[in-house]
Chain A
Amino acid sequence: MNGVHDMGGMHGMGPVTPEANEPVFHEPWEGRVLALNRATAVLGKWNIDASRHSIERIRPADYLRMSYYEKWLAGLVTRLEESGLVTSAELQSGRPAPGATKAIPLLTAGEVAATTAERGWFERPVNTPPRFAVGQRVRAKKINPTGHTRLPRYARGNIGVVDRIHGAHVFPDSNAHFRGENPQPLYSVRFAARELWGEAAPPRDAVYIDLWEEYLEPT
């Protein structure tokens, strides 16, 4: 979707303001939101792409206003409700629905160490060879999917060169909508800064973008 989350190349956002000696969490609730996201992810009701898409669907004005962990909280609430783990009545009342059976948490304290650093593995075996080779010129397709995609707007229609092939990876555009993993070759594509931004860009600079095969076409 052409959402406000797709920020590459936008103007007007102001300067970058690093904070010296920044704490991991600025408020205790931020840590709780992170932990709730991790602990509910193992319930298997959604995947990483669906998680991202739940955050992208926050209304643009809210997305820009909210802090990072406020967005995580909003996305989590959306996923809990859409997956049926929690009903909107339960969210309103803050109490389990009368008669609801109590589950047993899948992630217990002793298992955290084994699961936290593990993000999962997204490469999949496929039978077909990659359509494009390292060094080949490719064009990022000019497409505007209304669902989840990882093809940034600033890349669309532009020509780059395949720099490396990461193997076949789960395709976010289908996985986010629970329409299957559809694994396909994932390419690191080098785009000259001038191709993306015009002649005013420094001649040597480049942007490397990871792009799935369906995003690309031969030139």
Chain B
Amino acid sequence: MDHDHQEVPSDPALRVMALESLLVEKGLVDPAALDELIDTYEHKVGPRNGARLVARAWIDREFKKRLLADAGSAAAEFGYVPHGKEHLVALENTPERHNLVVCTLCSCYPWPVLGLPPVWYKSAPYRSRAVIDPRGVLREFGLEISEDVEIRVWDSTSEMRYLVLPERPAGSEQMSEDELVALVTRDAMIGTAKVTLAGASR
């Protein structure tokens, strides 16, 4: 391959600006559509979608059954997937089983319910180690999983996407659905955290 332009160590911001300008001039992209795409991923699609599914599953047994049977259709009930279906699987954590999601080959991640992935999820350390040393990785997130709990790591090698349904924390029995949504973190839905009453920034 000969792509000299890729190897020039110039500022990516300048290269992107030049490429966008060329594509706009050629009529291949509409800058207003680019603005709207960015706004969508910055402000509209994010882990609040997934947190809503989790909270609803905690308080509605029938919804939980539907979520575990076909998470794509369950997400469609909330309008998170526009055409009513999505290749999405929900994985239930229990006292005996902890699920962890990774994509070792690239960065596959359930965008419609979690938004764009954080940098660490796409990083070489996470992608290389989640499958061979999940317990060590979880320790780096401050999570110690007991030896008698089975860890299931899900390598997202296909178009199937995986969402962890974390355990509902003790002490949350009286909380409303909206209060529960606020507790559910992105990391808990990837499997690198548990849900606690304190909530968290991630």
The interface of chain A, by Cβ under 8 A from chain B, is 5-11, 13-22, 24-29, 31-36, 38-40, 43, 48, 52, 55-58, 62, 64, 68-70, 73-74, 76-78, 80-81, 85-86, 88, 90-92, 94-96, 100, 102-105, 107-109, 111-114, 116-123, 150-152, 154, 166, 169-170, 172, 186, 188, 193, 196-197, 202, 204-212
Contact = CB atoms under 8 A, between A and B. Distances in A.
Contacts of B45: 116-117
A29 B36 CA distance: 14
Nearest to A186: B158
A210 B128 contact: no
Given A17-B125, A68-B122, A205-B150, A86 B157 contact: no
B62 interface: no
A34 B116 contact: yes
A86 B16 contact: no
Given A8-B132, A20-B201, A39 B37 contact: yes
Contact of B202 (A20, A28, A74, A202): A20
Interface string B1-38: 10101110000110111111111011111101111111
Contacts of B149: 204
A74 B5 CA distance: 9
Given A16-B141, A119-B111, A150 B22 contact: no
Contacts of B23: 36, 40, 80, 86
Given A16-B126, A36-B23, A57-B1, A5 B105 contact: yes
Interface of B: 1, 3, 5-7, 12-13, 15-23, 25-30, 32-38, 40-42, 45-46, 80-83, 85-87, 104-107, 111-112, 115-116, 118-120, 122-132, 134-135, 137, 140-141, 147-160, 187, 192, 201-202
Contacts of B25: 95-96, 102
Instruction: Identify the interface centre among A39, A123, A151: most chain B CB within 10 Å of its CB.
Output: A39
A39 B26 CA distance: 13
B159 A85 contact: no
A150 B158 contact: yes
B169 to A, nearest CB: 20
A100 B194 CA distance: 56
Contacts of B157: 150-152, 209-211
A106 to B, nearest CB: 8
B139 to A, nearest CB: 10
Contacts of A113: 36, 40, 82
A95 B18 CA distance: 9
B108 to A, nearest CB: 9
A76 to B, nearest CB: 8
A95 B3 contact: no
Given A19-B118, A91-B5, A96 B29 contact: no
A205 B151 contact: yes
Nearest to A57: B1
A92 B81 CA distance: 39
Given A196-B131, A207-B153, A36 B12 contact: no
Contact of A7 (B22, B35, B80, B128): B128
16 contacts: A9-B104, A17-B125, A27-B12, A77-B6, A85-B26, A102-B27, A103-B27, A105-B30, A112-B33, A112-B36, A117-B111, A118-B83, A119-B86, A150-B158, A170-B159, A193-B151
B115 A36 contact: no
Given A29-B17, A210-B156, A40 B22 contact: no
A16 B22 CA distance: 37
A210 B41 contact: no
B43 to A, nearest CB: 9
